[in-house]
Amino acid sequence: MSLSRDKSFLKSGHWPTLFAAFLYFDMSFMIWVLLGPLAVQIGAVLHLSPAQKGMMIALPVLSGALLRIPAGFAVDQFGARATAIVAQIIVIAGLGFAAFQGITSYGEVLAIGVILGLGGASFAVALPLASRWYPPEHQGTAMGVAGAGNIGTVMTALAAPSLALAIGLGGVFGVASGLMIATVIVFALMAKNPPNYKFPQPVARYFKVLKLADTWWFMAFYGVTFGGFVGLSAALTLYFHTVYGLSAVHAGFATAACAFVGGTIRPFGGYLADRLGGIKVLGALYLLAAAALIVLSTGIGSFWPALAVFLVVMAAFGMGDGAVFQLIPIRFGREIGTATGFVGMAGGIGGFYLASSLGLSKQLTGSYGAGFLIFAGLALLAFGGLSIVKHRWRADFTSSGTVEGATFRV
């Protein structure tokens, strides 16, 4: 991006709202996956089975996926600012309960997990809030800045296990509650609804995109890429501890490295898609992810080679996220906000499936291999689906004029 375009971007929108959206998204994603890095300690305290641990870390992912739809609906009806504030207050209440009352049963853990899912639903609030302040030529940059908040998963993996050792599980939830209180105060002071976006919006418009076959294709494709990223981000602390005997803290460090790679490499996937074509890049990444998952399913005897393969998997999924969202604006144009909500929901559902299936695989077979192998099969199915639609998409997308005046490759 040239210096003149940088200046144009800074002047074209509302940077306090953009920062508020980033902060809200970052802190919400940090809270969303909180149970994953704490799974070792919580599992030990409550004597949970592998399947119960898998469900515990997967339920917030599923909750976050499903709550993206009502969150997006609330944005259209009441505005993004009010929706974000209410969601943060509910999360603070849940964290406060866990901090002061403690978690004494598996049922309480699952209830907290559902509430933490509101952190994952922030995807459907923060991104529209930021992007609608900016003209079309800068919306990609705005969404990239706001979406960088997914690095919050790294912060959780790094800090949560160490904090749990130092101040206890209740103390971790207390610190998280305090951080969210500070976040909602900053957000309320800085965020403003975009002046050119009117609400409430017609309800029928919100579900119009579900009538399009391409919406379901994108949901399937993102269910594998983002599902792989967030599912592994939630599950790997427990995996490294169980399989390689790492302490909760060291397992958290390893998970943070994987989440950092998957989160920060996403823009590079979009860059490659712009240069080489989103369909070509996405297909290659599905094959790479499937191959690496198949290797993991065989069982790798030592930690460092396994970590290297996990980094490959997370890089493939992270770049795949960027490639998917290179294609979505080309296809949907004005309907991008609504389509993003449903596609994002599918990504969370994919993460729930991966995280829960790993625990179930361990419970039933004594190994995580089957869970990795099945998800590798899903990546191959996604590659097959992409092969089915690619010729039509290349013809339709490049001739439809959906993105006026733009030069792009599919």
Q: Which of these, 109, 361, 373, lies nearest to 243 by C-alpha position? A: 361
pLDDT at 135: 76
Give the model confidence (pLDDT) of 217-270 as tens digits: 999 999 999 999 999 999 999 999 999 999 999 999 999 999 999 988 887 888
Token code pair at residue 111: 């209830």
pLDDT at 263: 85
Q: Rounded to an integer, what distance in angstroms lies between the CA atom of residue 149 and that of residue 57? A: 20
Token code pair at residue 141: 């940059």
The per-residue b/e assignment along 8-47, b for 16 or more CB within 10 angstroms, e otherwise, is ebeebbbeebbbbbbbbbbbbbbbbbbbbbbbbbbbeebe
Are the CB atoms for 362 and 50 separated by under 8 Å?
yes
What residue ranges of the chain have pLDDT lower than 70?
1-7, 9-10, 136-141, 143-144, 149, 206, 333-337, 397-410
- Domains observed in the chain: 11-192 (1.20.1250.20), 204-402 (1.20.1250.20)
Residue 409 main-chain phi, psi, to 5 deg: -125, 140
Reported residue count of the chain is 410
Note the pTM of the prediction, 2 decimals: 0.85
pLDDT at 273: 85
